Structure 1
Amino acid sequence: MNTDKKNNTIKAVFFDIDGTLVSLKSKTIPESTQKAIKKLREQDIKVIVATGRSINDLDHVKAIEFDGFLTFNGGYCMTVDGKVMSKQAIHPEDIQNLINYSEQTNVGFSLMYEDKVQISHAAPKVLELYTNLNLKIPPLYDKNNADIDNVLQVNVFIDPQDEETFMEKVMPNSLSSRWTDLFADVNPGGISKQKGVKKFCEYFNIDISQTMAFGDGGNDISMLRYVKTGVAMGNAGDNVKQAADYVTDDVDNDGVEKALKYFGLLD
């Protein structure tokens, strides 16, 4: 851990959503977090979402004004004024392999597109995800006419111990990460939150030495390691905390505000 991190040169802060900005208990953004982010923007510090969610699943954070949206774990990056900076779909062969595998094993999945989400079937684990995230359950995909060319991200409902074998066998052109034992996020090979951060730094002409990021899940690890100051929430897993420069309090105990104060970005 690098402890020499206190500075006032931060120009951009990237925030994961679930478990970081939004409490997984209350399903809301703590008032302290909302006020803290407002103060960042008043200092002309860019505030950017960095999430595994779809670009269309951000209604619950609209109370905050952002400067950009890093979604699908970096697979789809968009400015606040709607300019798509980057978009990359999963290899169609991997999607077809997934569909075939699911029909043989009954493993559930979600197909996430730029403008929609579809699920394989209403399995208990699939329903649990959308209930936990307070999202409407998506429609089923059309088995006879599936769009395999434009999938930006997949959620696959497999256990962590099965993930490596599954990826090698079924989706070898893609990359998996996870923030919950319930499912794995699958993105195109080479895509990560780190790559998304790099895109935004290039767009805003910000050096990586001027960046900070907050996260709590496994899909945040590449981002936390890449930025100048990576902050893990107190509710993060041990692997995430080990990748961070600093561990703050839980999201429900004003963790974002406390870390920003610690690093001198708030009074």
Structure 2
Amino acid sequence: MALSRIHCHLNLPFPSDAARISSSSHNSSLPISSPKAKNPFSIVKRRSSFGAVKSQMTMEDKPLSQNNRMLVYVPAHPLIKHWVSVLRNEQTPCPIFRNAMAELGRLLIYEASRDWLPTVSGEIQSPLGVASVEFIDPREPVAVIPILRAGLALAEHASSILPATKTYHLGITRNEETLQPTVYLNKLPDKFAEGSKVFVVDPMLATGGTIVAALNLLKERGVGNKQIKVISACSSPPALEKLSEQFPGLHVYTGIIDPVLNDQGFIIPGLGDAGDRSYGT
């Protein structure tokens, strides 16, 4: 599909969770869609109050339904920015780095679970009267899939904020010469229950090879794109564009988007090797 680009700068106020804007994330020159991309994605900035966003917009000859877009959420919470900054610091020791990864994962999973978890309603007796209540339905546990190794750190606090979870480990390594992924551990079930909700936790979305391999394994097991939310500490445009081409309707929650990959496929400035820095090996 041919794209026509219209570049404009807007000072656009919006309330929390109301705006979905095709825009660059932290760098106004960062492209968010490729002319080759079949499904350009939108970046959503969540704010706790009204604020102004300067954005670069890309418009198409034919508008795509929002339901067909991949949405990338970059929550503008100061705690998320804080923990990303701790992770960036090369002086951060392993135990603090791992704790920062866990805290960032907690916040991103909290944001990602908004308006997504199954609930049950009813009435209970409080000390002073009858109250209408709503609980997370414990009969439908959310699947959490950390991609080893660093995914373990990012997903560490998932069970502390989600009332019911099942954790399935997935080990994928990347060949440092070819940059191609290899699955060395697969604890996924043969088939997921219909309608399952799945968090895939991969700290670094760099070339996109690892996350694409993981999502293809889920697709083989009956999980649709809109049933999946990807949690990532740091992402790059090449990975996001690859995901938007292959998995329309996917939602990605990331702490930061960095614009550059080096020749070894590492994000610049990034965080370094998240697995090595989490575990010191």
Instruction: Identify the structure with the greater helix proportion.
Output: 1
Q: Which has the higher contact order (CA 8 A, sep 6+)?
A: 1
Instruction: Identify the structure with the greater strand proportion.
Output: 2
